[in-house]
Amino acid sequence: MSDEKQFCTFYLGDRFFGVEVERVQEVFRYQEMTQVPLAPSVVRGLINLRGQIITAIDLRRRLGMKEISEDQNPMNIVVRTDDDVVSLLVDRIGDVLEVGDEVLEPPPETLDEIARKLIPGVYKLNGSLLLTLDTEKTLDFS
């Protein structure tokens, strides 16, 4: 019997991604951010979430994708890491999916170098590929 994993899914453009559900604290609509001077370009700003200050990371920038159009506001996926809580800015939210390891494959060679480092595996689903995102590596800017 295969191991089943649950992923909170989201989209960046036409790419379909997932973060392990255990890492997700909450999901919410766009919220105004405070800019952070001298921060890396992937840090879009800080969000005040019920008194907790959270860093907002632009996943499009992190993955080297083009910017979202200015008339669209990103959604927030708040994830817990080993050290902190951060918000990942995404285009839109999908569903929670449960997938088995029997459809897990290594990331395709067609992904650019940055994406291959951050995406440990791909689940082949009916009609789409679910790119899994390693949140720890995604937040490591070194």
Per-residue pLDDT band for 141 (boundaries 50, 70, 90) equals: confident
CA atoms of 103 and 111, how far apart (whole Å): 18
**Average pLDDT, integer, range 40-69:** 94
DSSP structure class, residue 6: E
Residues 77-91 have pLDDT tens digits of 999 988 889 999 999
Could you give all domains of the chain from N- to C-terminal order, each with its CATH number? 4-138 (2.40.50.180)
More confident residue, 3 or 137: 137
More confident residue, 21 or 139: 21
Residues 5-44 have pLDDT tens digits of 999 999 999 999 999 999 999 999 999 999 999 999 999 9
Single-letter amino acid code for the residue at 100? G
First-to-last alpha carbon distance for the chain, in angstroms, is 39
